Every structure is written in structure tokens, then in C-alpha cells.
Amino acid sequence: MNRLVGADLFFKCENFQKTGAFKARGAVNTVIQLSSDIESVVTHSSGNHGAALAWATSLREMKSFVVVPTDASPFKRRNMERYGATLIDCGQELESRESVLHDFLEKHDATFIHPYDDARIITGQGSATVELLESECNVDQIWVPVGGGGLASGAILAANGNVEVVCAEPVLARDAYLSIQTGYRQPPLPPVTIADGLRSSLGELNFGILKAASTQVALASEDSIIHAARLVFEMMKIVIEPSAAVVVAAMLENPSLVAKRVGVILSGGNVPCPHEFG
Amino acid sequence: MNRLVGADLFFKCENFQKTGAFKARGAVNTVIQLSSDIESVVTHSSGNHGAALAWATSLREMKSFVVVPTDASPFKRRNMERYGATLIDCGQELESRESVLHDFLEKHDATFIHPYDDARIITGQGSATVELLESECNVDQIWVPVGGGGLASGAILAANGNVEVVCAEPVLARDAYLSIQTGYRQPPLPPVTIADGLRSSLGELNFGILKAASTQVALASEDSIIHAARLVFEMMKIVIEPSAAVVVAAMLENPSLVAKRVGVILSGGNVPCPHEFG
């Protein structure tokens, strides 16, 4: 893989993290700060933040509710339920998600936890980068995927200007790229990329942090995302989901942006085993 | 996985080893002991020993030839060629392998390296168990797959009676099981198990070591091997081949044989990425 990318790569394998994705970090950092009289929390998620929040709330014996798009991955639905979440279906559009969430909050006494536009979440996600920088890898650059921007803005804060953070984004969901180009937060594109964890709109806090650091955003096509996931499977023998493969794909598509010693955050591994495997 | 098996499991991930399998250990331990005037080595292999020997010989600028059954995994063929091996096709029967190898040795000045019935190979494979025992896992039992018996006999020598070694074998290739039951080395069954690395006949040296330690052999059905590979994929996010999954399958099928703190050697991960992945 080093030869293919042309750099020394150091992978932070958040696919091995609790609940199968880095989202466990932000969720636990948020839930631990909640008042103990809170009984229920609610969020919206395509799956990984929902599972993380369900896991974190179960540690404090709180209930969790997750507004989930109807086309969410069945594997991720099962993962959320396994950790104790109650799922609430909404349509596939962002508007439907907002209205279903609004209705739920009107009728229930629950605390809303935003999946990424929240300082506690951002700080939690940043701990992946803290650990990477505290290791002896001595990286001079870190690549992270960007969707809502929780992981990316946490990485930028943790790197604190000492190490460059480059964001990777699917071409089909390039609102972060366009936001950085124009200097204004752009609306999300239709949620069609295979990288289902990166379909969401870049958050406001998150955009502010990316913009202040003049963050570069490298793009990856759908084909190269799939190719990257397959390379990691066959050469590294680990399972990553498309939203994680975006980083490897963007490095392969943008070699001129890649430094010499690169930390690569593989964000998650929540994909079903194909039927034909084994 | 601990809950499913009912034990604390400590995995030795030889799927992350050089060439994708534990075989790199025995190959390098053998090749490093060869006289420097040897120019070529030859072996027979379904893939993993061949790739390991190709890698090890390339470090000493020797050539490697591998007699390969026609029905060997195309993925493993590519892996051997990637490390520099020259492949020589033989039929699917063990007899054809022997005759093709014999013909090759008559015509070429090459040194034969047996894939498992060789003290240097056994010692090398044993280093996986040495590392597991030197770690702070404090296991009281080690599970390994058994095919030719290189990994298993190496584990038994390395454990030296201090920790029990249990072997896992497919029902469809249970010559080690039958050999231990009868006290005499039994012929191999037809090579049809999905665990292609375990189709070979138990070696003579290897059987002697298993027998002397009164080793238990636990069996696993083909269905449970596939189920185990899928569990490891979805729960642990790592890729293992069927010959490695046999161990997890045999533990699930034989819970009464499983101790409390168990070292599990996952032997390799050389399987292609399914087309439908990503």
C-alpha cells in the first residue's frame, strides 16, 4: 500500500473501535457530560453515530432514539438495535429527517444530540488524532474523511497547526469542497454516494474550523472508492466501509497532495459480509 | 466473540503476517539456513507456503518453483507470482503432485523444501506461539488449525507442555483426527474441503509430535467454517480464509473443549474480495 500511494502510511483503524466506527468517541464524550436526570436522548443518523450513541447511553442506563432514513443500511440498523437504540423511520430527504425529529421532540422528553455540529462530539472525535500523534509514527500529515465534519474538525483542533489535516470527500457529496472553495457553507448534494456516512451536510461549527485552517479537500470518484475498499480488503486483510475507503481513494487520485509520513484515519467498518464470501 | 465462544479470546492475527499467512515464518527460518550456493528451491503448495517460500528466497536472491494443483485458488496463484515464484501445474490428486515434483527434480538442480514435514519449517511456525506466550495475554490454551501439521506441531513444541494446544480440523479432512484416534498416521481424505490450506496429508514428523502430546483434535463442518469466517468479518472487521476460520468454527462446535483464556491463531487471510463488496 505504501508503494501504491508513494508514502509511508500509518493507519488508525477505527473500524476496530467499539461499535465499529470512530463515532463511539464523540458519543461517549457527550453522554458522559449529560446531567444524570436525563432519561432519553435522540439523534439522527445513517447508522454509525446512532450505534455509538446507543452504546454510550447504555453505559449510563439512558434510552436512545435514532431517526433513520428509510434507505439506511440494514446492517447498520441491526447494529444500532444491537446496542439498544429505538429506531424511528423518516424519508430519504434531509427535510423529512428534520420534521420527524421535530415531531418527536414535541411529544417526548428527550435531549437532542447532534451527530457532528456539537463541540462535545468534535472534541471526542479529535481523540483519534490525539492518539495518532501520541504514537511513535511521527506523521507529518493526517488524512480524514469529511461528511458532517465531526472527525475532520476534531482532527484539526487536535493537530493544532503542528500537522496538516487533509480531508477526503466523495465527488458526489462535495459540499465541504465547494464550501472551502467559495468561502461559504454550501448546501448538501443529493444523498447518493456509496459512502453513506458522508451524505450529510457539513456542520456550521465544523465548517468554521475547516475554513479557519484553510483545509484542503481532496475528492474521490465512486469507482475509486470501491477500488480502494477492495485493495484494503485484499492487501491489508481488513474490512472498511466505503466512507472509510474514501480516504485511500482520494490519496490515490491526488498523489501531489500526499506528504511523506501520513496518518490515515480509517473511520469505520460497518458493512455486511457479502453472501458469496467463505 | 468472547460471549459467543464463552471464553476470553486472544487472537494471533497471522492474516496480517508477510505474504498473508503464518507460512512466512517457516519459510524464512528454512531459507536462512540454506547454503549460499543453492540457486533454486522447489516445493508443492496450494498457495500460502508457495508465496512464503517465494518471498523468503527473494530475500536471498534465490529462485523458487512451486508445484500447484490445477484447482488452486487464483488469488493464491497471483500471490505466489507477485512474490516471484514460477508455478508448475499438476493435477488435483496427491499422486500427480508427487510425480510432477519428481520429474522436476530429475531435470533441474533445485533443493526441495517440504511445506511442513521439516524440522526447520516446524520450528519457524512455532514462533507464532512463542510470541503469543511472550505477550501478556496469559492464555491457558492455544487453538490452531491442522492440515499438514506444521503450525500445530510448532505450537506444541513452543508450548512445551505448559499450555495445552488443541487442533481444529474440517470434518471433510479429518486425517489428523483419525490418526490420533487410531494411533497410526491415516491417509488423507479427498481434497474437497473449502479450507484449501488444510487438504494436505498430516506429515510424519508432525504426527509424531501431535501423538506424543496426546493432542485433542476438534472438528468443524463446512457450514460452520463459512459461518465462522462471516462472524469474524462482521464482528472483528478482519478478513480470514476458510483454513483460519476452522479454528473459530471448531470452538463454537466444541464448547466443552474450550478453556477460559484462549489464544487463537488465525492462520491466514488470502481470499479474494467478493465482487459484490463495496
Tell me the whole-structure pTM to 2 decimals. 0.95
Q: What is the pLDDT of residue B95?
A: 82
A9 pairs with which residues across the strands? Answer: A262
Q: Is the dihedral of CA B235, B238, B242, B246 positive or negative?
A: negative
Q: Which residues of B are catalytic?
A: 23, 46
Grid cell 498457495 in the structure block, residue: B47
Q: What is the pLDDT of residues B2-47, one digit of tens each?
A: 999 999 999 999 999 999 999 999 999 999 999 999 999 999 999 9
Amino acid making up residue A186: Q
Q: What is the pLDDT of residues A207-229, one digit of tens each?
A: 999 999 999 999 999 999 999 99
pLDDT of residue A93: 78
Chain B hits for A240, CB-CB cut-off 8 Å, are 237
Of chain B, the percentage scoring pLDDT greater than 90 comes to 95
Residue A162 identity: N
pLDDT in tens, A148-203: 999 999 999 999 999 999 999 999 999 999 999 999 999 999 999 999 999 999 99
**Which residues of chain A have a CB within 8 Å of the CB of B22?**
none
Residues of B in contact with A242 (CB under 8 A): 278
What number is the average pLDDT over the span B153-182? 98
* Catalytically annotated residues of A: 23, 46
Residue B277 has what pLDDT?
81
Residue type (1 letter), B180: I
Q: Which pLDDT value is given to residue A276?
A: 83
Find the mean pLDDT for residues B195-222: 97
Q: Which amino acid is at B224?
A: S
CA–CA distance, B144 with B129 (Å, rounded to integer): 10
User: A75 to chain B: nearest residue by CA?
Assistant: B234
Are A52 and A24 a contacting pair, CB within 8 Å? yes
| ipTM higher than threshold 0.90 | yes
- The reported pLDDT for the residue numbered B146 is 98
**CA of A4, closest CA in chain B: separation in Å?**
14
Q: From the candidates A15, A196, A231, A233, which should be mutated to test the interface with B, based on the most B CB atoms within 10 A?
A: A233
